[in-house]
Amino acid sequence: MPTHIRPVAAVTGALVLAASLTACGGSSAASDEKVVTVYSADGLKGEAGDGWYDKVFADFEKRTGIKVKYVEGGSGEMVQRALREKSNTQADVLVTLPPFIQQAGSKGLLQAYAPQGSDRVDGADKAADGTWTPIVNNYFGFIHNKKELPEAPTSWEELLDARYKDRLQYSTPGVAGDGTAVLIKAMHDFGGQAPAMEYLKKLQANNVGPSSSTSKLAPKVDKGELLVANGDVQMNFAQSKSMPNLGIWFPAKGNGKPTTFALPYAAGLVDKAPHTENGKKLLDFLLSEGAQREVSAVGGGFPARKDVKPTDANAVALAGLMEGVEVFEPDWADIDENLTAYVDAWKSATGS
Beta-sheet strands, E only, within 158-304 = 168-169, 228-232, 246-249, 259-260, 265-270, 302-303
Q: Answer for the pair 37, 69: CB distance below 8 angstroms, yes or no.
A: yes
Asked if pLDDT for residue 284 goes beyond 70, the answer is: yes
pLDDT over 90 (residue 165): yes
Q: What angle, 0 to 180 degrees and rounded to 10, lies between the N-to-C axes of helices 177-190 and 332-350? A: 90
Evaluate whether 39 touches 94 at the Cβ level (below 8 Å).
yes
pLDDT for res 200:
98
Q: What is the mean predicted confidence (pLDDT) over 8-32?
A: 42
The mean pLDDT value of the chain amounts to: 90
Note the pLDDT tens digit of each residue in 195-243. 999 999 999 999 999 998 888 999 999 999 999 999 999 999 999 989 9
List the single range of 119-123, 245-249, 285-289, 292-296 with lowest mean pLDDT.
Answer: 119-123
State pTM to two decimals. Answer: 0.84
Q: What was the pLDDT predicted at 32?
A: 66
